[in-house]
């Protein structure tokens, strides 16, 4: 039994203060738990070690959902934004994704201050060494200095820092990203606990001095005016005054890379970790897509008070001299000065199949994991896991049932279900294509789906909930106003402008207008003082529901059917190897994952419909559902 002073006793400890760690710590502390946030460096709190962006395709959905639950990533991103764009506007509303260019240093400073000002939260610079477990329960943590803390729950949010190694050419260095210290002790503690450890890899491109770039040879990429904020709490105009620029690789670039693959750590065997498929290095792109004569390179500002530019699209671990040749071969970068060379980083992570959908470890009570330690990539995926791990650690401490978001409720539900049910053999990245119910999981309705849940948990503040209720009231008013009617003579010009067939009736309703494919909420505001008084974003939400009503009704029927299997719980003690008629592969996969419901069992790789039928028949005979 650990015997320490009250000052060394905490309800929960979060190890790591990256994007997962800060959300977990904020959730725990906000839910009235005395919490310790342990970080290798105070300068690394929420530091954006890779790209200077928040949001993007699928990822913007996650940020909006974290905000809807009462998280803080969206609020801080809005404060630090220097450019904002809405991606995929040429496609349907299900895939519209907000993306912000963010001032990296301002984001770090703002989040650090938020952590420092959070009640119930202590922050300590130090390295975790050993997770102390007694009789299968977490009871404490020992640090590298030999200090010991007593606790009821621990959230592992170590990012890419476990035994991390930076690699550029034939040079490698045991360090974390951006020169921060790596964690060398905690992996051994996890191995001692019998937790499976894997080795993953990610990377980053060179950073370039802005004044050495010839922007006249590039295509400006300006922000979009009038985009919504990430957070419902943001009531100021988002900064949008820093353009990005687009240029391309070319045949010379590709020739330089192909002729130097023997010097590439990725291809000469120096790198052992598994890299991400959806954010490959430039070497990977050139080798795997040899038919392409060019690849996009986005030149992005790292902040408003620095001249460093991020070369998105040429992530590489090639030697420094080859990186210089690559950069100088690209239009606009002929005389560019590299300020930081690109690198690959290898790090330890766990197999997420070790986790329950609550992000708790199956083997140990009170131990949780969130973020890149679970095999994911990206700030947004980390933040989404962090808030859920924090909420569930808090609910464990309070002896409450965990929060498990379903796939039809949130992208967060899709993310965590994919990890805990299917696992991942490479760094996992969220994409809209992963969500089978994405039409009902849009950015604009994240608060409608999740804020009531966050309020019930206790994480949504009074001020946030008040704004949510105001939105609900206005949405109801908009729907009630859809019956408003207009003389055709007063609105026919809108039909003509939008290329819509003019109705033959003498009057038309607002609802009839909005249901037309090309008539928009903006059009309605032009002809109706009533609708001009409503927020445009709220009218657009109603517009989407009207235009896609048929598709959404079909999706709701599919969700209803899937909920039938979700409602059939499975016992965690069930021995699948003893169920007659179940294939060996399916029994082994089920035994490893230990699904909580029949629906989760159905989603396990290697379990087919025939196996689910066998399970249903078995349960009907034995009456052992749940």
Confidence of residue 287 (pLDDT cuts 50, 70, 90): very high
pLDDT of residue 625 exceeding 60, the answer is: no
Q: Are residues 39 and 145 in the same domain?
A: yes
State the pLDDT confidence band at 557, using cuts at 50, 70 and 90.
confident
Whether 123 is covered by a domain: the verdict is yes
Q: 334-357 pLDDT, tens per residue?
A: 999 999 999 999 999 999 999 999
Cα separation of 440 and 442, whole Å?
6
d(CA 498, CA 304): 40
Same domain assignment for residues 520 and 603? no
469: in domain: no
Asked whether the predicted pLDDT for residue 442 surpasses 50, the reply is yes
Mean pLDDT of 242-250: 97
Long-range contacts formed by 505-511: CB under 8 A, 24+ apart: 509/482, 509/483, 509/484, 509/485, 510/481, 510/482, 510/483, 510/484, 510/485, 510/486, 511/482, 511/483, 511/546
Q: How confident is the model at residue 626 (pLDDT cuts 50, 70, 90)?
A: very low
pLDDT per position as a tens digit, 39-61 = 999 999 999 999 999 999 999 99
Q: Examine residue 3 and state whether it is found in any structural domain, yes or no.
A: no
Length of the chain counted residue by residue: 626
CATH code of 519's domain: 1.10.10.1800
CATH number of domain containing 94: 3.50.50.60
Residues 329 and 351 in one domain: no
Write out the DSSP string of 8-71: GEEEEEEE--SHHHHHHHHHHHHTT--EEEEES-GGGTT---S-SEEE-TTHHHHHHHHHHHT-
Residue 259 belongs to a domain with what CATH number? 2.40.30.260
| Together in a domain, 153 and 284 | no
Q: What phi and psi, each to the nearest 5 degrees, are found at residue 154?
A: -130, 135
Instruction: Tell me which of 343, 360, 379 is where a domain ends.
Output: 343
Q: How many domains does the chain have?
A: 4
Q: Over range 601-605, report the average pLDDT.
A: 89
Is 322 contained in some domain? yes
If you average pLDDT over residues 399-417, what whole number do you get?
97
Residues 365, 432 within the same domain = yes
Has residue 570 got a pLDDT over 90? no
**Long-range contacts of the stretch 506-510 (C-beta < 8 A, 24+):** 509/482, 509/483, 509/484, 509/485, 510/481, 510/482, 510/483, 510/484, 510/485, 510/486
Task: Answer yes or no: are the C-beta atoms of 197 and 190 closer than 8 Å.
Answer: yes
- The span from the CA of 67 to the CA of 100, in Å, is 15
The answer to whether the CB of 343 falls within 8 A of the CB of 281 is: no
Q: Is 325 helix (H, G, I), strand (E, B) or coil?
A: helix
End-to-end C-alpha distance for the chain, whole angstroms: 35
pLDDT at 142: 98
Residues 311 and 358 in one domain: no
Domain carrying residue 573: 567-622
- CB-based contacts of 390: which residues, under 8 Å, 6+ apart? 14, 23, 24, 25, 26, 27, 28, 31, 155, 370
Residue 413 lies in a domain: yes
User: Has residue 541 been placed in a domain?
Assistant: yes
The answer on 510 and 412 residing in a single domain is no
Residue 359 has pLDDT above 50, yes or no: yes
Q: Determine the Cα–Cα distance for residues 298 and 280; give it in Å rounded to an integer.
A: 15
What pLDDT is recorded for position 501? 94
- Specify the higher pLDDT residue, 493 or 270: 493
Residue among 360, 357, 353, 350 nearest 12 (CA): 360
Please report which helix (H) or strand (E) contains residue 172, including its range.
strand 171-173
Does residue 472 surpass a pLDDT of 70? yes
Convert the pLDDT of each residue in 148-182 to its tens digit.
999 999 999 999 999 999 999 999 999 999 899 99
> Average pLDDT of the chain?
94
Residue where a domain stops, chosen among 293, 328, 343: 343
User: What's the rounded Cα separation, in Å, for the pair 312 and 310?
Assistant: 6
Quick check: 429 pLDDT over 90? Answer: yes
In a domain, 585, yes or no: yes
List CB contacts of 49: < 8 A, sequence separation 6 or more.
160, 176, 177, 178, 180, 204
> Do 586 and 544 have their domain in common?
no
Among the listed residues 513, 607, 536, 520, the one whose alpha carbon sits nearest the alpha carbon of residue 565? 607
Nearest to 249 by CA among 168, 333, 319: 333
What pLDDT sits at residue 624? 52
Residue 471 lies in a domain: no
pLDDT at 518 over 80: yes
Residue 378 has pLDDT above 90, yes or no: yes
Rg (CA), the chain: 26
457, 491, 506 - which closes a domain: 457
Mean pLDDT over 307-326 rounds to 97
Q: Are residues 447 and 423 in the same domain?
A: yes
61 and 166, same domain (yes or no): yes
Q: What is the CATH number of the domain that holds 596?
A: 1.10.150.570
Pair (351, 339) in one structural domain: no
| Inter-helix orientation angle 379-397/19-30, to 10° | 30
Q: To 5 degrees, how large is the angle CA 164–CA 169–CA 175? A: 20
State the burial class of residue 588 (Cβ atoms within 10 Å of its Cβ: 0-12, 13-18, 19+).
middle
Same domain, yes or no: 338 and 240: yes
Instruction: Please name the residue that has the structure tokens 């990533």.
Output: 73
């Amino acid at each position: 039994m650990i015997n320490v002073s009250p000052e060394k006793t905490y309800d929960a400890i979060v190890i790591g203060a990256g994007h997962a760690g800060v959300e977990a710590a904020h959730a725990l502390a906000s839910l009235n738990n005395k919490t310790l946030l342990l970080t290798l460096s105070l300068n690394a709190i929420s530091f954006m070690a890779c790209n200077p962006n928040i949001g993007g395709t699928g990822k913007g959905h996650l940020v909006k959902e974290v905000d809807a639950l009462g998280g803080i990533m969206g609020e801080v991103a809005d404060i630090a934004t220097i450019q904002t764009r809405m991606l995929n506007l040429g496609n349907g509303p299900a895939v519209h994704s907000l993306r912000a260019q963010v001032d990296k240093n301002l984001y770090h400073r703002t989040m650090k201050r938020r952590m420092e000002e959070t009640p119930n939260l202590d922050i300590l610079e130090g390295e975790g060494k050993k997770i102390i477990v007694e009789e299968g329960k977490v009871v404490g943590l020992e640090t590298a200095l030999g200090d010991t803390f007593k606790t009821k729950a621990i959230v592992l949010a170590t990012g890419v820092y476990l035994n991390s190694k930076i690699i550029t050419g034939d040079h490698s260095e045991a360090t974390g990203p951006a020169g921060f210290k790596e964690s060398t002790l905690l992996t051994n503690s996890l191995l001692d606990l019998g937790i499976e450890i894997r080795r993953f890899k990610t990377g980053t491109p060179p950073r370039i001095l802005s004044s050495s770039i010839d922007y006249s040879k590039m295509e400006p990429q300006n922000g979009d005016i009038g985009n919504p904020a990430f957070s419902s709490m943001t009531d100021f105009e988002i900064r949008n005054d820093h353009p990005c620029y687009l240029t391309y690789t070319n045949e010379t670039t590709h020739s330089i890379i192909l002729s130097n693959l023997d010097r590439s750590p990725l291809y000469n065997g120096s790198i052992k970790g598994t890299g991400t498929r959806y954010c490959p290095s430039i070497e990977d792109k050139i080798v795997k897509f040899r038919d392409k004569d060019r690849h996009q390179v986005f030149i992005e500002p790292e902040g408003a008070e620095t001249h460093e530019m991020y070369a998105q699209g040429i992530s590489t671990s090639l030697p420094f001299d080859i990186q210089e040749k690559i950069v100088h071969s690209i239009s606009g970068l002929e005389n560019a000065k590299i300020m930081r060379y690109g690198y690959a980083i290898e790090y330890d992570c766990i197999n997420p199949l070790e986790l329950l959908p609550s992000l708790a470890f199956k083997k140990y009570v009170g131990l949780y994991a969130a973020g890149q330690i679970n095999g994911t990539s990206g700030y947004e995926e980390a933040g989404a896991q962090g808030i859920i791990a924090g909420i569930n650690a808090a609910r464990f401490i309070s002896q409450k049932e965990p929060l498990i978001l379903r796939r039809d409720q949130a992208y967060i539900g899709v993310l965590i279900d994919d990890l805990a049910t299917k696992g991942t053999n490479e760094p996992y990245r969220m994409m809209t294509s992963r969500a089978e119910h994405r039409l009902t999981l849009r950015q604009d309705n994240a608060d409608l789906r999740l804020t009531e849940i966050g309020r019930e948990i206790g994480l949504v503040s009074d001020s946030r909930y008040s704004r949510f209720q105001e939105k609900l009231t206005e949405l109801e008013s908009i729907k009630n106003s859809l019956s408003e009617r207009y003389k055709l003579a007063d609105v026919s010009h809108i039909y003509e402008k939008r290329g819509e067939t003019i109705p033959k009736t003498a009057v038309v309703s607002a609802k009839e207008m909005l249901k037309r494919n090309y008539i928009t909420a903006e059009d309605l505001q032009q002809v109706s003082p009533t609708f001009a008084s409503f927020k445009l974003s709220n009218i657009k939400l109603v517009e989407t529901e009207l235009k896609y009503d048929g598709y959404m009704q079909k999706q709701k029927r599919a969700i209803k059917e899937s909920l039938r299997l979700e409602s059939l719980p499975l016992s965690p003690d069930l021995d699948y190897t003893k169920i007659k008629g179940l294939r060996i592969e399916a029994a082994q996969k089920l035994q490893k994952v230990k699904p909580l419901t029949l629906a989760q069992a159905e989603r396990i790789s290697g379990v087919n419909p025939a196996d689910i039928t066998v399970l249903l028949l078995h349960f009907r005979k034995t009456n052992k559902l749940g």
